[in-house]
Amino acid sequence: MEPRFAIVGCGRIAHRHAEQIVKVGHLKAVCDIDFDKASALGSQYHTKAYSSLGDLLHNETDIDFVTICTPNGLHANHAIEAMNAGKHVLCEKPLAINVTDARSMVEASLLHKRKLFVVKQNRYNPPVVHVKKLIQAGKLGRIFSFQMNCFWNRPEAYYTNSWKGSRDLDGGTLFTQFSHFIDLLYWLLGDVESVKSTIKNLSHHYIEIEDTGMVIFEMKSGAIGSMNYSVNSFEKNMEGSITIFGEKGTVKIGGQYLNTLEYQCIEGENMQTNFSTKSANDYGFYQGSMSNHDIVYTELMEALKNPEHDIANAYDGLKTVEIIEMIYHSAGRT
């Protein structure tokens, strides 16, 4: 039987989820406190609309999965409510905006024996997959150091009349814009030992979070690296890149959103150029990460059949939150 889904939060990203859900299962219900948004999405997919998650869970008892697309700061409450009702959860990034909430989500998953996955679609960018395989095969040898650049543009219109930019619902630029980069750092190079960081709000005086930051990492492996990030790139996204320096080679994934292999010089390896990449998530006046939600749902279906299948789970989501919290703590943010 095909899995039955509900979506909570009917903003822009919910439409990408709905588009993929109907390819692999049934979209049984949608929910948003703004009932007009829920009704619009529900009408598009001929499904029931609710303004309360509690009402949805009470009435739609046969749902298998709840997909969480609400603001960052609400992910924990909504995911735990769904798991308390016996549902599996797929949560948009980030898992939560503090470690306490993220751990509560993991605990609810274990208590109720429900699956908890987090959307990390940049793991499926073809150049990222390529570099992951190189590292797993030992082609780069011991990793010495790395550099991450995250230079995007987020204009005032992005934050106007929105939860984005607030401390309680957004959480910070590393959560909303660049948590995928922190996830890939962990996924590719392992855990972080320590960080030193500084953050500032240099041009977005109307938001409560930073728009710029610099981080120095020391990894548990002994590798060192840095991350420079900003949403002040003039007029448009400039770059999203990761460069890795190893004893047997150097590689750089670049482009605006980790969508190209810009450089590869590895002992005994030819440069790969035949990558087929998709466009970014296009939201009109700004672009997000690469649109791989189709692969997310394909991988989700595989994970349901095979518990050992490699997919971003609750612990991966928790690790991202832990590292980001380390960065903000080092920068003096309380």
For 291-310, what is each residue's pLDDT tens digit?
799 999 999 999 989 988 98
Which tops the pLDDT comparison, 91 or 334?
91
| Residue 281 predicted with pLDDT over 60 | no
CA distance 164 to 207: 8
Residue 319: pLDDT band with limits 50, 70, 90: very high
Please compute the mean of the pLDDT values over residues 151-173 and round it to a whole number: 97
Residues constituting the chain: 334
**pLDDT value of position 167:** 97
Give, in order, the Cα–Cα distances in Å from 244 to each of 135, 264, 284, 324: 10, 10, 33, 20
- pLDDT tens digits for 233-268? 999 999 999 999 999 999 999 998 899 999 999 998
The percentage of residues in the chain with a pLDDT greater than 90, rounded to a whole number, is 90
Write down the pLDDT at residue 291: 76
- Could you say which architecture CATH assigns to the domain 123-289+314-330? 2-Layer Sandwich (3.30)
Q: Report the pLDDT value the prediction gives residue 326, as an integer from 0 to 100.
A: 98
Question: What's 191's DSSP letter?
Answer: -
pLDDT higher than threshold 90 for residue 43: yes
Residue 271, pLDDT score: 74
- pLDDT above 70: residue 284: no
Q: Is the pLDDT of residue 290 over 70?
A: no
For the chain, the structural domain boundaries read: 4-121, 123-289+314-330
Dump pLDDT digits (tens) for 217-232.
Answer: 999 999 999 999 999 9
Strands 239-246 and 65-68: unpaired
Q: Tell me: pLDDT of 278 over 70.
A: no
* 290: CB partners within 8 A, 6+ apart: 121, 122, 125, 257, 258, 259, 277, 278, 279, 280, 281
Dump pLDDT digits (tens) for 75-90.
999 999 999 999 999 9
First-to-final CA distance of the chain: 47
pLDDT at 269: 84
Q: What are the tokens at 256?
A: 């605006």
CA distance 199 to 210: 6
Give me the pLDDT at residue 276, please: 54
Q: How far apart are CA 286 and CA 284, in angstroms?
A: 6
Q: Is the pLDDT of residue 47 over 80?
A: yes
pTM: 0.94
Q: Does 289 have pLDDT greater than 60?
A: no
pLDDT of residue 334: 77
CATH architecture of the domain covering 4-121: 3-Layer(aba) Sandwich (3.40)
- Give strand pairing partners of 269: 266
Q: What is the mean pLDDT of the chain?
A: 94
pLDDT band at 283 (very low <50, low <70, confident <90, very high): low
Percentage of the chain beyond pLDDT 70 is 94
pLDDT for 40 equals 98
Predicted pLDDT of residue 270:
82
Residue 288, pLDDT above cutoff 80: no
pLDDT at res. 280: 56
What does the pLDDT read at residue 192?
98
CA 256 to chain CA mean position, Å: 16
pLDDT of residue 273: 63
> pLDDT at position 132, please?
98
**Is residue 39 pLDDT above 70, yes or no?**
yes
